[in-house]
Amino acid sequence: MHVVTFRDMRELREKLLFYLAHEGARRKIVRAAHALATSLHTWGARARFISQVAERALEQRRTDQRPYYTPPSEASEREASTRYLGCYEVPGSAGQLRASGLREPARSRNRRKLWRYTVQLCQEACAGGVFGLSEGGFSSGNAHAQARCLCAAAGAGADALQARLSRRANAAECQTACSLHDARPCGGARALALFARRDTYGSG
């Protein structure tokens, strides 16, 4: 056994008292946990895992299983539908966010209170012509994390919104994508990728 679990606070208290009084039993669990961690989570173990993944990928290529690519026409049509306005710092407080003119769309989060937006989904969720995404891409440490969506009010001007945001972020913070199907940037942990729909604001 390398971990101790409990169902409720009563059982937690009982086990805490037991292991405080039984040093040998506690150390046995610690040794088992250490052995498990060193067998699975050392640099060597990680390197072996990465090598196995690479070998499987190479084998897949040798058997002529085609890798996935986004259909070029589909991707280019989506990207052509918006104008990327740049990367901005996300307003730091709820009040600053309200003052910027950006709002989350209705029913923006799922039951786990997580955002689930790609650029395309955010574009579809926002009635106005200007919208932005943050906390997507690699901000969580996982590739293609889906993002938080923020919409400008219907009829709000892109220039006015950009002026209220004003502070540009490092462009690299916005550049990772939320989806293999869509290469448009979707913001980062502290950065907002801002877009305007071309059918509303033209190509300027």
| Alpha carbons 70 and 183: distance in angstroms, whole number | 9
What's the alpha-carbon Rg for the chain, to the nearest Å? 24
pLDDT at 69: 56
pLDDT, tens digit, 9 for 90 and up, residues 95-131: 787 888 888 888 777 776 777 898 988 998 887 788 9
Q: Per-residue confidence at 204, pLDDT binned at 50, 70, 90?
A: very low
| Alpha carbons 61 and 79: distance in angstroms, whole number | 29
**Pairing state between β 182-185 and 177-179:** antiparallel
CA distances from 185 to 29, 72, 83, 174 (A): 46, 17, 11, 6
CA distances from 198 to 83, 93, 123 (A): 6, 30, 11
Residue extents of the structural domains in the chain: 9-62, 72-201
Q: Which two tokens stand for residue 154?
A: 């219907």
pTM for the model stands at: 0.59
CB 135 within 8 A of CB 193: no
Which residues of the chain form beta strands (DSSP E)? 82-89, 102-103, 130-134, 148-152, 177-179, 182-185, 191-197
Reply yes or no on whether the pLDDT at 198 is more than 90.
no
End-to-end Cα distance, the chain: 64
Q: Position of tokens 């709820």?
A: 94
Q: Any residues with CB less than 8 A from the CB of 135 and at least 6 apart, and which? A: 115, 145, 147, 148, 187, 188, 189
Q: Any residues with CB less than 8 A from the CB of 180 and at least 6 apart, and which? A: 68, 70, 144
Q: Position of tokens 């190509």?
A: 203
pLDDT at 182: 82
| Average confidence (pLDDT) over 168-175 | 86
Reply yes or no on whether the pLDDT at 61 is more than 70.
no
| Alpha carbons 153 and 97: distance in angstroms, whole number | 13
pLDDT, tens digit, 9 for 90 and up, residues 124-155: 888 778 899 998 886 555 556 788 899 988 76
